[in-house]
Amino acid sequence: MDIRDVAKRARVSTATVSRTVNRVATVDAQLAKRVWKAIDELGYYPNRQARALVSGRSRVFGLIVSEITNPFFPEIVQTFETLAVEHNYEILLTSTIHDPKRMELAVRRMIEGRVDGVAILTFGMEDELLEHLRFRNLPLVFIDVGPKAPRVSNIRVDYAHGIRQAVQHLAAMRHERIGFVTGPLKLRSAVARRDAFEESMREIGLTVKPEFIVQGDHRLEGGKLAFQKLHQLREQPTALLCSNDMTAIGVMRQAFELSIAVPQQLSVVGFDDTRLADFMIPPLTTIQMSQTELARLAFDALYKEVKRETPSPVGTEYHLKTQLVLRRSTTFPPNTTPAKSRTIAKGTKQNDTSTAD
């Protein structure tokens, strides 16, 4: 069941079938109709491999993420896939699971698959592997950390904005002892978030106690451990910013074990605004970094680069904003008389799906 069968049945050449299928304008309407009819009757589906081989373009984009099981990524994968399908692309999905072997494998798979471009959304790709990929001068798109080079685009995330909003939000409610649970500090994004926090605190005239900054790992466990540590402090923070939602959930979870009520005794703010945030009890106030937008930018970057007749000399820079989303895990610090109703920093999103309040 190949193009030749179709050609035979429609009494045309394979070239005409090919042109018809690819909607080349120069084919006569009558013939095209015959061809489509034959295709339909035979149930013909073109062979992607053969197409790729001869045309030199596979219509596949690679997508490298760190872990699909990290709630941050499914949304991205979904959006990316939807976009891909719309443009008749396939996606070659790979997760590195923070494993150097898997990273190497990932690169190998991309090359063997002759992908037309790859989006690297791992927040910390080994540089050497990056070299391998760049070597082929494929269109590439990174988040945050990419090098400036031909055909490689970058999505720069403005971590500071959302974090500043969060700090202001907390400060407006008279929190003074505000802590921060970081991510793994080998990730540039984790460092950036922590730095933005310290910066915002300074801006607003609050001091950050070194012991209020404790390291997590962007996973549940790290959040739990971090809070346990914090809990042993003589003087404890009344509010905690976390480097991502998982961390915040870990904190809340551990607070629960220690019978500390969130938000009455402890305000918690997450980062990412994964869907989980709105699943939590109480719903988590967090800083949104739109996963769908991120996926969209990444796809666009690749797609545009593929479409270019001449490679971009130095890839495009994209920007992604962050923004505080108020839910229910923050309130006034304990032993405080609420002066007025809940303070809302300007530009903040009210995104509480609760039906009662």
Partner DNA sequence: AATGACATGGTAAACGTTTACTGCCATTGG
Partner DNA sequence: CCAATGGCAGTAAACGTTTACCATGTCATT
Rule CB under 7 A: which residues touch DNA? 2-4, 11-19, 21-22, 25-28, 30-31, 44-47, 50-51, 53-56
Alpha-carbon distance of 87 to 283, in angstroms, equals: 36
Residue 93 binding a second copy, by CB under 8 A: yes
Angle at which helix 220-231 crosses helix 245-257, to 10 degrees, equals 50
Alpha-carbon distance of 221 to 251, in angstroms, equals: 9
Residue 150 binding a second copy, by CB under 8 A: no
231 contact, one of DNA, a second copy, none, CB 5-8 Å limit per kind: none
H or E element at residue 278: helix 275-279
Question: Which span sits near a second copy by CB under 8 A: 6-14, 73-81, 120-128, 199-207?
Answer: 73-81
67 contact, one of DNA, a second copy, none, CB 5-8 Å limit per kind: a second copy
Three-state DSSP class for residue 14: helix
Alpha-carbon distance of 339 to 332, in angstroms, equals: 9
> From residue 7 to residue 46, what is the string marking binding to a second copy with x (rule CB under 8 A)?
------------------------------------x-xx
Phi-psi region of 199 (alpha: psi -120 to 50; beta: other; left: phi over 0): alpha
One of 13, 264, 279, 334 touching a second copy (CB under 8 A): 279
Alpha-carbon distance of 133 to 127, in angstroms, equals: 10
- DSSP-derived secondary structure letter, 212: G
Size of the residue set binding a second copy (CB under 8 A) = 59
276 contact, one of DNA, a second copy, none, CB 5-8 Å limit per kind: a second copy
264 contact, one of DNA, a second copy, none, CB 5-8 Å limit per kind: none
Query: Sign of dihedral through CA atoms 111, 115, 116, 120?
Result: negative
Nearest CB to a second copy, comparing residues 200 and 254: 254
Phi-psi region of 233 (alpha: psi -120 to 50; beta: other; left: phi over 0): beta
Q: Are 109 and 94 contacting, i.e. CB atoms less than 8 angstroms apart?
A: yes
> From residue 119 to residue 148, what is the string marking binding to a second copy with x (rule CB under 8 A)?
----------------x-------------
How far from the centroid of its chain's Cα atoms is residue 37's Cα? 43
Residue 85 binding a second copy, by CB under 8 A: yes
Which of 229, 215, 214, 273 has its CA nearest to residue 249?
273
329 contact, one of DNA, a second copy, none, CB 5-8 Å limit per kind: none
One of 16, 18, 20, 94 touching a second copy (CB under 8 A): 94
Q: In the Cβ-directed half-sphere of 312, how many Cα atoms lie within 13 Å? A: 22
Residues that bind a second copy (CB under 8 A): 43, 45-50, 52-53, 58, 67-69, 71, 73-75, 77-78, 81-82, 85, 90-95, 97, 102, 105, 108-109, 111-114, 135, 220, 224, 228, 249, 252-254, 256-258, 275-276, 278-283, 354-356
